């Protein structure tokens, strides 16, 4: 067995170790394969997404989605919080941060890192079979165009999980 390291599609293969690398905006996170297998315990569905189809550049619009805990694990407070995550796909189908920012408030100055909408502490614990109605605002891009945003649940620092849904918003001048 060789001790050489190979990097293929963001996955680092080292004998006796399999790890996935996620490069965030500021840090690099390593996840062991066992952590990613939590998919069996963590399951979610997202439905009832209400998002306007057409908005204007920079406009903030109210939206909502219903998230259902369908796994076998209760979602509770902790270091690795639960959130509704948003992302886009590039031309190769790879994830990238969403340009449509999610926020709990319509105050423009509070939109900073808008690709996560944390499940509020007063909604936790979310037992198996329970639903959370995520109410949020989306801030439109400054450039007109068609933008597709994907939503999926994430246990921060561990894994994305559950079904992914998408919606399209057209930004018009």
Residue 48 is predicted with a pLDDT of 93
C-alpha to C-alpha distances, 42 to 34, 72, 75, 109, 127, nearest whole angstrom: 13, 7, 9, 34, 12
Averaged pLDDT, 55-68: 93
Give the count of alpha carbons within 13 A of 22, CB side only.
15
* Domains, the chain, ordered by start: 1-38 (no CATH), 41-171 (2.60.40.10)
pTM of the model: 0.72
Higher pLDDT, residue 4 or 132: 132
Tell me how far apart the alpha carbons of residues 108 and 89 are, in angstroms, rounded to a whole number: 25
pLDDT at 16: 38
Average pLDDT on 32-42 reads: 54
pLDDT digits (tens, 9 = 90+) for 75-134: 998 888 999 998 888 777 777 777 777 777 665 544 444 578 889 989 999 999 999 999
């Amino acid at each position: 067995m060789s001790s050489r390291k190979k990097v293929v599609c963001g996955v680092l293969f080292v004998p006796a170790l399999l790890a996935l690398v996620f490069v965030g905006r500021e840090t690099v996170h390593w996840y062991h394969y066992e952590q990613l297998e939590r998919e069996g315990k963590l399951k979610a569905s997202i439905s009832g997404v209400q998002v306007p189809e057409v908005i204007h550049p920079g406009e903030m619009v109210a939206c909502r989605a219903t998230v259902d805990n369908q796994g076998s694990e209760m979602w509770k407070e902790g270091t690795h919080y639960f959130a509704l995550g948003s992302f886009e796909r590039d031309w190769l189908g790879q994830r990238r941060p969403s340009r449509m920012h999610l926020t709990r408030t319509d105050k423009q100055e509070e939109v900073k890192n808008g690709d996560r909408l944390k499940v509020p502490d007063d909604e936790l614990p979310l037992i198996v079979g329970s639903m959370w109605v995520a109410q949020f605002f989306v801030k439109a891009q400054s450039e007109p165009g068609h933008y597709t945003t994907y939503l999926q649940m994430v246990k921060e620092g561990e894994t994305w999980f559950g079904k992914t849904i998408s919606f399209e918003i057209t930004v018009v001048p």
